[in-house]
Each structure stands twice: as C-alpha cells, then as structure tokens.
Chains A and B, each alone.
Chain A
Amino acid sequence: MNPVMIDIPPGGIGMPNLLSRYAECTIWLARYMERIENLARLIDVTETFVRARSTSTGWLSIVQINADDERFFERHEVASEENVVGFYVIDRENPNSIVSIAHAARENARSLRPLISTEMWMHLNMFTNAVSTLGPSDIRASNLSALCARLKQDCQTHHGITEGTFYRDQAWLFYLIGRNLERADQITRLIDIKYHTLLPSVAGVGSEVDIGQWAAVLRSAAAYHAFRRTVRGDMTPAHVVGFLLKNDGFPRSLSTSLRQLYWAVGHLRTDYGLKNGYAAAERIEELRATLAEQTVEDIIVRGLHEFLDWVQRELHLVQGEIARAFWPPAMPAPPANSAPDAGFSQEQSQS
C-alpha cells in the first residue's frame, strides 16, 4: 500500500519545528506547479476536440469548468480559441492564467527559499521568467500544442528536481499533500470537461467521435497506453472514467492521489507527532471509502458531474482542515501571496 517513491526514514528527521508559514507556502507551491501542468493538459485536450469537431463550444467548457464565466465575459464577448487561450495563458489580469499562477508559485518559492534546494529555486526562477515573456505569437494555434508540451515538461522537471533534491522532513510531506490535493482536484476537472463538451449532443454517446474524444482525454492525462494495456474490453465512457477515478496503479487517478494524500497526512502524525492532522485524515478516509464503495456505473447513473463536483468540494474542505490544524486562525490573515485569488479554490469547487 505504501508508495515506494515517498520514502522517509522511520521516526522522522530534520528540522523539528517547521514554521507554519513554510508549511502553507509549500502546499501552495506544489499546488500551483501541479495546476499549471493540468491547465496545459486541459488546453491541449480541448484543442484536440475542437480540431476534430470543427466547433467552438469546446473552448467555452474550460471557462465553465474553472467557474470563470463571469470574469471571462467581462473581458471577452465570445469564447473563441484566441480569447480563451489568451485568457488562460498570458492574461496577467486573470489570476487563474498560467502566467499569474507561475508568478504566485514563484512568490511562494521566494518565501520558501530558506527551505528549498538551490536547484529547485533556480529552475523555478528560470521557468517563471520564461513564462512571463510569453506573448500572443506563442499561443497561436500552430504553436499551441508545442507550448503545452513545453509547459508540461517544465512542471515535470520541477517535480523531478524536487523529488531528487528536497530534504525529506515535514516540508516534504506538506509538498506531497499539496501536489496530491491538486492532482485529485484536477483529474475530476479533466473528466468533467468531457461531460461539458458532450452535453449538447447526448445522442453522440458511443459514436466514433465520442470514442475518439475519450481517447484524447486519456492521452492528455498520459493514460492511454496504460489503459490499453490493463483494461479489457472496449473503450466505453464507463471504462475510461473508471480508469481515471479508480485505478490504483495509474499515478494521476483520483484513487491514487487520495491514497498518497492520506499517506502523507498520516506520516505527519506518526513520524512527527502532529496529531492535529486527525480531522483532515478522517475526511480523506471518508472520501476514499465513498469512492471505493461505488462502481463507476453507479457513479454515472447517479450523475457523474454531481459526483465530481462533490469530490471537489470535499477536497476543498480537506484543505480547510489542514489549514486549521497547522496554521490556525489565531494567526494574522493568510499571506497576501499565498493565492493569486483568495476565492480561487472556493469558486472552483462550487462550479
């Protein structure tokens, strides 16, 4: 059950007392880097949909999934590719754009510089400098796929450097908590985008276009080959959704993210005596049980979108429990730099 990658010497090591502010910034750093990677995946898969179907509703679904309708339509009249991609990649006024999230990631990393490795900082510094120079010509349709690939790769480089250089103590566990919270949240959005895209044409379920689109979802989550190799039978919506939600071997599935999340919170308690993580652990456990108890068919019949929405709300509550436990409200208001937009998670989870 224990993932091998997350090795911490028994008994815990390192600085005995992690500053609360460091813990908070670590979670946000991990979340933002994971969020950039997933936003790149969302843009990439949407581009694939749109290319195949010659329709423009696909771009609107990203806006809906991120609950950014209001902010987006204040600035743009139509959800064209140019507008949506611009809004999510280079718009500095949009706190949920990649350039804004990268900036927020760096501000958190700046606060964490006493803690993170020089190599982590150097890469983040170069990455965010590069992102901040992106302009309209970088997001033209012909460049978009390459740009998404590059963004994904930079985030993965960050994960790799972190895995290879970040000291294994409480901060590492908070980093894993942030990464897995975000990853769990984002896989539900990736599945949901397919729901949104298909909604106007329920008749298309099971058609060739439909199957091609589910394959694109799998590819954008780097899941296609693993799916082919391990799932017997056709590429039905239920099989694909089941794989992305419940497969314990796939690193981006909801069940894997929740398992690692639970593991990291548990080790804060067992290795460092941080008993306060109890409420968060309990909530994660319930979430895992709810996921395990149902078959994917049950979930789809009861309403896939509603289920995904509920998962997002639960994850938001988990983040709240962690905040209460480790940076309690007796402290002054959360740092201004901890989120590009205070309402971001809240808005998203209630979409």
Chain B
Amino acid sequence: MSDHRGDLGQQDAQQGPGLFVSYDTPDFYCELMNRRDPASASLTLIRDRLAHFGLTELRQRARVAEADLYNLGITFTVYTDRDAIDRILPVDLIPRVLTAGEWDHVERGVQQRVAAINHFLWDIYHERRILKDGVVPAGLVLGNANYRPEMEGLDVPGRVYVHINGTDLVRDGAGNFLVLEDNARTPSGVSYVIENRHMMLRSMPDLAVGLDLMPVDEYGPRLRRALTETAPAGVQDAQVVLLSPGIYNSAYFEHVFLAREMGVPLVEGRDLMVENGRVFMRTVAGPRPVHSIYRRLNDDFLDPHVFNPDSMLGVPGLVDAYRRGNVTIANAIGTGVADDKAVYAYMPRIIRYYLGEEPILSNVDTHICAEPEGLAYTLANLDKLVVKPVGESGGYGLIIGPHATKAELETFRASLLADPANYISQPVIDLSVCPTLCEAGVEARHVDLRPFAVTGESTWVLPGGLSRVALRKGSLVVNSSQGGGSKDTWVLAS
C-alpha cells in the first residue's frame, strides 16, 4: 500500500495537484463535490483519496478495467448479418456514493411504491374499487394496451404481481429524489450493479479500503427465495427456472448472470413444454416439473396460443397452466398497466388510496392534461415544460418547451388541445451530476439511479442500484443505446 502511494505521489507531481483541480463545480447538485448538506466523514475520505489520483493513473486503470469486462464477456451483444459484436457498458471508475441516511429514505420509498403497485394490480384485475371510486379513470386502465383480460379474477400467490421492480430516480437541484418512472415488467441492469462492484474492488482497491459499504452479492439468493416463496401453494422444493429469449437477445449476459447467481437453469421456450396444464422442462432424464418461472420475455411472446401466435420464443399452453395455478410467472402477466406513463401520474394518489400514507418518494411534478387545471397550467407554461404523450414510449411525440421554437410550440398546442387526455406535462428537471472521467479530464455528467426491489413474502431492496451516467456533455439521456455508461453505486453502511 505504501509503495503504491509513492507511485501515485510521483504521478501527482507530473499531473499537477489532484484529479479535481480543474473540476468545474456546476450549478447542479453534485453527488460528490457540491452537496448541500454537511458531508459525511466517509464521503470526505473518498473525495480526498480520489483527489490523490493522477489523471494518467486513472486512465490506465480504466483501460485495464475495460479490457477485463470485454474478456469476461460482461457485454451486451449487437448482431449484424455476419457477426456478433460484443459491446461493454462503459463503467466510470469514480463511484456514485449514497449516505446511510439517503439510502434509508430511498429504500423505504421504493418499498412503499412496490406495495402500492401490487395492491393496484390485484384491485384492477379483481374488484376495481379504485376505478369505481373514481381515483383513477377507468378508461385509462381498461383501455390500456398493457391491460390483460387473461388476468381477471386470477389469484396469484401472495398477491405478488411485481416480484422484480426497478424504480428510476433522479435528483433535482436541491438533491431531492424524484421518481421518473416505474419499471414493473422486466426491468434490466441489475447484473451491471453487481459486476460493477466486482470490477471496482479489483480496479480501485485503494479507494474502497476500510470503508463500510453495503454489499450487493445477496441479489441472486434473495431473488431465488422470493420465487420459491411465491411458488404455487403446496409445492415442496420448488423448481425455479429463468426463461430467456436466448443467446441472440441483447440482455443475454444478464440472463446468464442471474441464472448463475440463483443457481437455477436458464431455459428457452423450446426447453419447456406444457402437458395437462403443467409445465415441464426437457432434461436428459425426460420431462421434469417446473414451478416458478422468472421470465425475461415480454407478455406478447409468452404463449403463442394466447398472445402473438408467431412467437417462437414462448411456450404453447403456458398461460393455461398459469391460470390453473400450476406455475408462477414473475413478473405476472399484465403488470405493464401499472408502470404506464399515464398511470404514473396517479401514483401518489394510488399510494394514498391503498396505504393511507403520504408518498415517501415524490413523483416529478406532473400535470394531467385530462384534468382541466392540468390542461390550463400546461397551456399557460408550454415553453417551460416537458409535455409527453402517455401512450408512446421511447421519447416519441414529446416536446421540451425550452428547446422548442415558437412554431413548434404552436403546432404542439393544437395537438394538445385536440386530445388533452393523451398528454401529461412535467417541469424540466436539473438532474444531479457526478465527477466522471471524460476525454478532457474529470468533468460533471448527469446521473440517474435505478434501485431494484425483490418481492416475495416481503420486499427487499438491493442496496444502491444502477447509476447510469450520460457521457455526453450536457446530455440528460442516460440510456446505454444513446451514449450512456454506468457507475458503481456505493451505499455507506454508516
């Protein structure tokens, strides 16, 4: 250790004093350098240790780490006609740090939100009280493309619909955590959380030494336990499997990772069969029963008998077996109605309705244009707001007021007035930033956070989550497909 310090000292002499010397403390909330609260001792220690690194040293370690990820095959795969091209998700070696207090708040907020979502899903597929009471418009739910009539009246074990949930959080200028989106279908990215930690402890052992970080290794066993707890009633020693679309899926690495961490077989649709309403997997010893399926396949592809008849990825008869209560599917079919953009706007009310509590994590302030006040406010402030159509995904059809021309605003105003119920509006959020190694040195980049919650008999939240970082300067887009990277998220235990 002391030798190593000596090396770093020499580097510093060449590089000038410290990593952050030219770091431009931005006007945004900075997770490391510009917190508005008194920083914890550990946070200060991490900052001081980082400041002792030279830029050359950090770049060298980043190169080694990147080669490591590539050789280990911690990659997502892009297929062309001729080749399979493996790409890594770039990882920045400067961690994103959360204090124990911050994490306590996020954890409780996520647990509350997952509880509300599960209540909501049971209700809309059974009694529909929340619709009858007029808290959520019935049309929004029953007319939703992700509503599945097949789920009506079906009792899923423990009333758990969303076994795995990812909650996308951002922090505003004051450092408040806000929910940007719920992911209640098949949220991905958790493998990077765990692999990032392994990589960080290999690459930056001198940064982590002596710190009390909450571990992330428990995810696999926790998930398996949740899937066992929610297996069909009466099953002893439940056989859990992970159902993947196969090696050509870009998230296949994650499927492999999770199957290994859980210690369960990774199956494809062709490995499963349904006979007399029961699910079996094909083994060298013949068919063997399957009780719980963690599927990484969208609803549409699950069962060609019920959904997309052309799907080769699914299992004919699976939904029938599910409806007979012979198999658990996680997440349940039809959860997409709960993480819809339009339903999102009602989530604070949904939480109050079922739990009688105030939301611990706020939504981004959302104006529902279906409601007269929301529409009036949106029309009056069009140039300051982000307005999104509720049915679309992937950023289609939205307008960012401050970036739009007058003409664009007027055109948009007309579409909004023609169909107000199709829109919600939100203020533009000043996302928090984190120091990040970039071409020109260490610079501020925007980050978000996706904690993962696992629900069986209770809800457990993996400490931290996936911190995605927008590597392009000024960009608010953190998606990996659009130049996003990630950071290890360190939760301080004390």
Residues of A within 8 A of B (CB): 15-23, 92, 107, 110-111, 113-114, 118, 121-122, 125-126, 170, 174, 268, 272-274, 276, 326-327, 331-332, 335, 337
Contacts and interface: CB of A to CB of B under 8 A. Distances in A.
A170 B283 CA distance: 11
Which 10 pairs across A and B sit closest by C-beta, in order of nearness? A17-B283, A114-B266, A113-B256, A326-B284, A114-B259, A17-B288, A20-B282, A110-B247, A332-B270, A125-B73
Contacts, number: 71
A272 B282 CA distance: 16
B284 A110 contact: no
Contacts of B265: 15, 17, 19, 22, 114
A25 to B, nearest CB: 10
Name which of B72, B73, B246, B271 has the most chain A CB atoms within 10 A of its CB.
B73
Chain A interface mostly helix, strand, loop or mixed?
A: helix
Nearest to A268: B284
A20 B271 contact: yes
Contacts of B268: 21
B252 interface: yes
24 contacts: A16-B285, A17-B284, A17-B288, A18-B283, A19-B281, A20-B282, A21-B268, A107-B247, A114-B256, A114-B259, A114-B265, A114-B266, A118-B72, A121-B72, A122-B71, A125-B73, A126-B71, A170-B284, A274-B284, A276-B284, A327-B282, A327-B284, A331-B282, A337-B247
Contact of A21 (B84, B260, B282, B285): B282
Nearest to A125: B73
B473 interface: no
B82 interface: yes
A20 B247 contact: no
A351 B71 CA distance: 39
Nearest to A20: B282
A327 B286 CA distance: 9
Given A107-B247, A114-B265, A335-B270, 15 more contacts: A17-B281, A17-B285, A19-B265, A19-B271, A20-B271, A20-B283, A21-B271, A113-B73, A113-B256, A114-B260, A118-B72, A126-B71, A268-B284, A274-B285, A327-B282
A19 B282 contact: yes
A126 B68 CA distance: 11
Contact of A18 (B246, B260, B284): B284
B156 interface: no
Contacts of A21: 268, 270-271, 282
Q: Is the interface of B mostly helix, strand, loop or mixed?
A: mixed
Nearest to A170: B284
B267 interface: yes
A15 B263 CA distance: 10
Nearest to A174: B284
Contacts of A16: 285
B388 to A, nearest CB: 38
A96 B260 CA distance: 32
A205 B196 CA distance: 64
A112 B285 CA distance: 18
B368 to A, nearest CB: 45
Contacts of B246: 111
A22 B82 CA distance: 25
A118 B195 CA distance: 13
Contacts of B281: 17, 19
Nearest to B312: A332
B314 to A, nearest CB: 12
B247 A19 contact: no
A107 B82 CA distance: 13
Nearest to A331: B282
A104 to B, nearest CB: 12
Contact of A331 (B252, B259, B266, B270): B270
A337 B71 CA distance: 22
Contacts of B259: 114
A52 to B, nearest CB: 39
A326 B286 CA distance: 8
Given A114-B260, A114-B266, A19 B283 contact: yes
A16 B288 CA distance: 10
Greatest chain B CB density within 10 A among A15, A21, A107 is at A21
Nearest to A273: B285
B395 to A, nearest CB: 32
A233 to B, nearest CB: 46
Interface string B70-90: 011100000000101000000
